Structure 1
Amino acid sequence: MDGDYDDEEGVKRMCVGATFSVMVIIFTFLTRIKCRRRSLRSGPSAEKMRREKARSELMSRIFEGYSDSCQNFVRMRQGAFMKLATLMRKQQLLKDSRHITVEEQLAISLNILGHKSKNRMMRTQFIRSGDTVSKYFNRVLEAISRIQGRFMKQAPNEVPQEILSNPSFYPFFKDCIGMIDGTYVDAMLPAALVSRFRRRKGVTQNVLAACTPNKLFTYVLAGWEGSANDYRILQDALSRPQPNGLRVYTGKYYLCDAGYTTQPGFISPYRGVRYHLKEFAGRTPQNRRELFNLRHSSLRSKIEATFGILKNSFKILTAKPHYPFPTQVDIVLACTVLHNYIATVDPEDELLNETNDIEEEDAAEEITEETNVVDFTQPQTVREQNTSKDEWRSLRDQIAMDMWIDYCMKYRHGDTHESAL
């Protein structure tokens, strides 16, 4: 009997507790509605109006201050910025909220990317909470990643105009579709992972990129450890199925530096021979290998210049960002997409050296239309790999000989004698 009495008392207490909880919820809900109605009747507070006015004045200074105020603040000119905001709205990648517009979301995020600004600095300038700044920064990164297929397309299977119009490169590099190289970006990681990412100059992530001679990125693979070998990262890029892998066409190739090897789809310079442009200052090539290396370096330097423009435009790539590592990877990808975006919609931007144009097509549709794409996911025996490399080394030798004969006919009165070969 006592047990039944205790059970009844327990049920009564539970019912009373539940009833009280419901009453608290209803009271809180009604109080909030009352406060909201009072706020709507009385209008925004003086403090809120002061903050909104300060933000409005800041945005006006960005767009209507000095002629270069917009570019200095968000790393692109006003026309490009407004087109980006329109694109984000049209594609529903970003939306105006009750308290913050798409333009302000972009201004905050682009200033962080362009000037490695801290969260607390954005809080002060835009009078926003740190959570708000962080939330919209991540939303903008996600939105930029979703326009990657529109502004970063893999290299087409055709001769780049920069090669076609230059007699030093054409017809010798007529099958070259771009250049590849790696660059290091400072990284912040948990102590347990630091050793994997540490290299001689600090803790970094190793980024593989491909670009065309007009300094547009066509492929980017970020997130590898700074200690990883460039060739290993390239193999990873090639082993990924399309559209995530680096695309190489049959008979076409990328130019790469001596950190890689000459193999199907890639031609590196001759080792043990002068290569960098500064090594040829005041000296003319003495043999076919030096001439090949000189012109190879001249064309491949385009990607080094592209990296320079990228890091000069987006200073966050030269700092140690205090974000989770996946976000650090997204930041690298976002900066490369923005680089291509600026070059596409505002080719006269002073930070760019050349004008560019990209047709706005769907990347996935492009892939299905391409033919003669080399499948690097298929295994090969060691003998087959060595045979393929020998064939491509022979191709490099033939290109070097054709260059040398043409060079001698133009500048050495047909004398093809070589020294220091």
Structure 2
Amino acid sequence: MNGLRDRYMKQAPNEVPAEIANNPNYFPYFKDCIGMIDGTHVDAVLPSNLAAHFRGRKGKYYLCDAGYTTMPGFISSYRGVRYHLKEHTGRTPKNRKELFNLRHSSLRLKIECTFGILKNRFKIISAKPNYPFPTQVDIVLACTVLHNFIAIEDPDDDILNKNVEIDEDNREVTNEDDSSVVDYTQTRTQRKDQDERNEWKELRDQIAWVMWVDYCAKYNGGNTMESGLA
């Protein structure tokens, strides 16, 4: 089954996905994003000697959920910032962080829905892994190959067209404490690790600010005053 993966699975290209390039809410802010990662759907136990293989490519990054920390190759949402906002009506964003999280979350929703469908079809993916790590990888790959084959050969498949309920987490984290999130940098020096994390957090801040300025120019008459920031 895994011998078919090159035919039915593709690595994220080193270019802007069409979903980002063609949407003014995402482009040019996420112009260096090459994909989305959600770390809550498929549990895995990762040996430390394989950690380097899971870091992002130089100059590009993945958007990831709050289960990850912002670090080289990965940009997560701001922690402790409310969700369930709308762009234009009702609970609209009050500051750059809320706007960033809103758009970050709407992009990641695509991968959440994809994994939701995958889990509905293959219940083994929802189970805690009791196999060696290479076997864990093979299981996910085999299920993904089958899923993609079905999507190509039978687009009217019931599971593919079933609405997937995403269980969003309503809890708010009160600070940027990274002690409970995934961190693949244990083998690096603490100083270098922290310096690189700070660089990527600064990049996130820059993206959020440019996004906020453009948003305010379009909807707030150019007034960039913010509220609710700690």
Deviations 1:263-285 (A, max 9, x none): 1100011111113569x993000
Counterpart for residue 97 of structure 1:
none
Counterpart for residue 54 of structure 2:
246
Cα contact 2:85–2:93 (8 A) shared by 1? no
* RMSD of aligned Cα (Å): 3.2
Q: Which of 197, 200, 214 lines up with 1:406 in the alignment?
A: 214
Cα contact 1:277–1:298 (8 A) shared by 2? no
Deviations 1:89-119 (A, max 9, x none): xxxxxxxxxxxxxxxxxxxxxxxxxxxxxxx
Q: 1:147-296 maps to which residues of 2 (within 5 A)?
A: 147-183=4-40, 206-207=43-44, 224=45, 233=46, 238-239=51-52, 245-246=53-54, 248-275=56-83, 282-296=90-104
Counterpart for residue 54 of structure 1:
none
Deviations 1:138-183 (A, max 9, x none): xxxxxx1211233223211000001111111111011111111224
1:383 partner letter: R
1:178 partner letter: G
- Separation in 1, partners of 2:226, 2:110: 29
Counterpart for residue 302 of structure 1:
110
Deviations 1:181-208 (A, max 9, x none): 22456xxxxxxxxxxxxxxxxxxxx14x
Residue 254 and residue 158 in structure 1: after superposition, are their counterparts in 2 closer, same or farther (change >3 A)?
same
In the TM superposition, what is the alpha-carbon distance from 1:305 to its structure 2 partner?
A: 0.7
In structure 1, runs of 5+ residues without a counterpart are: 1-143, 186-205, 208-223, 225-232, 240-244, 354-375
Question: 3-state DSSP class of the match of 2:71?
Answer: coil
By percentage of residues, which structure has more helix? Answer: 1
Residue 331 and residue 409 in structure 1: after superposition, are their counterparts in 2 closer, same or farther (change >3 A)?
same
Counterpart for residue 311 of structure 1:
119
1:179 partner letter: M
In the TM superposition, what is the alpha-carbon distance from 1:312 to its structure 2 partner?
A: 1.9
Residue 234 and residue 409 in structure 1: after superposition, are their counterparts in 2 closer, same or farther (change >3 A)?
farther
2:94 partner letter: Q
- Separation in 1, partners of 2:37, 2:27: 19
- Separation in 2, partners of 1:163, 1:236: 33
Cα contact 2:39–2:64 (8 A) shared by 1? no
Question: 3-state DSSP class of the match of 2:203?
Answer: helix
- Separation in 1, partners of 2:63, 2:197: 15
Question: 3-state DSSP class of the match of 1:179?
Answer: strand
1:335 partner letter: C
Counterpart for residue 164 of structure 2:
none
**Structure of higher CA gyration radius:** 1
Residue 319 and residue 261 in structure 1: after superposition, are their counterparts in 2 closer, same or farther (change >3 A)?
closer
Q: 1:116-155 maps to which residues of 2 (within 5 A)?
A: 144-155=1-12
Counterpart for residue 190 of structure 1:
none
1:282 partner letter: G
- Separation in 2, partners of 1:319, 1:385: 33
In the TM superposition, what is the alpha-carbon distance from 1:257 to its structure 2 partner?
A: 1.5
2:34 partner letter: I
- Separation in 2, partners of 1:316, 1:237: 23
What is the TM-score of this pair, normalised by structure 1? 0.43
Question: 3-state DSSP class of the match of 1:267?
Answer: strand
In the TM superposition, what is the alpha-carbon distance from 1:287 to its structure 2 partner?
A: 0.4
In the TM superposition, what is the alpha-carbon distance from 1:247 to its structure 2 partner?
A: 6.2
- Separation in 2, partners of 1:299, 1:177: 12
Q: After the TM superposition, which segments of 4 or more aligned residues of structure 1 sit over 6 Å from their partners?
A: none
Question: 3-state DSSP class of the match of 1:418?
Answer: coil
- Separation in 2, partners of 1:348, 1:334: 21
- Separation in 1, partners of 2:24, 2:16: 13
Deviations 1:230-280 (A, max 9, x none): xxx4976542xxxxx3362211101111221111100011111113569x9
- Separation in 2, partners of 1:234, 1:296: 29
In the TM superposition, what is the alpha-carbon distance from 1:410 to its structure 2 partner?
A: 1.1
Identity, in percent, stands at 64
Cα contact 1:269–1:275 (8 A) shared by 2? no
In the TM superposition, what is the alpha-carbon distance from 1:314 to its structure 2 partner?
A: 2.7
